[in-house]
Amino acid sequence: MSKIKPSKGAPYARILGVGGYRPARVVPNEVILEKIDSSDEWIRSRSGIATRHWASPEETVTAMSVEASGKAIAAAGITPEQIGAVVVSTVSHFKQTPAVATEIADKIGAGKPAAFDISAGCAGFGYGLTLAKGMIVEGSAEYVLVIGVERLSDLTDLEDRATAFLFGDGAGAVVVGPSDVPHIGPTVWGSEGDKSETIKQTVPWNEYQLGDVSKLPLNEAGEIKFPAITQEGQAVFRWAVFEMAKVAQQALDAAGISADDLDVFIPHQANMRIIDSMVKTLKLPEHVTVARDVETTGNTSAASIPLAMERLLATGQAKSGDTALVIGFGAGLVFAATVVTLP
């Protein structure tokens, strides 16, 4: 018979506050067109993107995260010292170790919380939210800070016509805390590793370090390119449109609600055509507010869902207490969907 005492966590968890940070520099499509043979009309028609934000040297992964976290903590009505864990989802923190979460925790004055990074691409926010919920219910933390942050401009090949216009920078954060009633539904998540080549880094860091020109991409001047994110656009589009709508429906079913019960839909901001196709496939009613932050923010990977959530609430398009379906999907290929009550 076990001698271990049962954990004393909360019955449920909920999002208590959200915050976002977008870099000051706004980059229109015209800047992207300086390096690729395309047009503003083509970029808008294929992706829905008109502008994106690119970080300055001072707007680091840590700096952006600290700004977003401060807003989320203030909105949640708690102090940094009450944070028991910091979970950061990012693919653009270039130090292998230590985790950037530890630096962020220190800079926000959180004391000595558990702090770690996860790499789950554009599904990273959903992964972090699920981990946070588990920690609160299990009792290992009362409040968890979940951050999605990216500086994807550092990993963008501006000469790649397929991806140069897609990516932006930013940070989004939420504070997850205890609740007496369920406000975060079951997570439907998973991976399809057989499709890992469809979104990937062009070359591993070790090959870049070795400098073997025969294995590395070169620019027009014959110089070695820095590693970047590349993708097979059509394959990713088909997967997202057909498979992720199924995952979104499974999340609705797991939460015990239908599309008619939704107030808000916040999908990963990858592409406007993907978003519109998912809305159609899910047969969302007209009253459901749909996040389309991608138009002015671009694809910010792990940051896209909390950034879109923050903007919907800030502009009044969504309100506290609304029921929202969130779904992230991307490199891996990985995915995560759940239903939440907005803070």
- CB-based contact 85:105 (threshold 8 Å): no
Active-site annotation holds for 271: no
Backbone phi, psi, residue 78, to 5°: -120, 175
- Whether residue 131 is preceded by a cis peptide bond, meaning omega within 30 degrees of 0, is no
328: Cβ contacts below 8 Å, ≥ 6 apart: 122, 123, 124, 125, 126, 267, 268, 302, 304, 305, 335, 336, 337
Annotated catalytic residue, options 93, 183, 268, 271: 268
Grouping H, G, I as helix, E, B as strand and the rest as coil, residue 226 is coil
85 vs 141: CA distance, rounded Å: 6
Active-site annotation holds for 122: yes
Give the residue from 283, 286, 54 showing the smallest Cα distance to 151. Answer: 54
324 vs 261: CA distance, rounded Å: 9
Annotated catalytic residue, options 53, 122, 183, 271: 122
Longest dimension (CA), the chain: 70
Active-site annotation holds for 268: yes
Annotated catalytic residue, options 29, 93, 183, 299: 299
Helix 272-282 to helix 40-47 angle (10° resolution) is 30
Q: Which residues form the catalytic set? A: 122, 268, 299
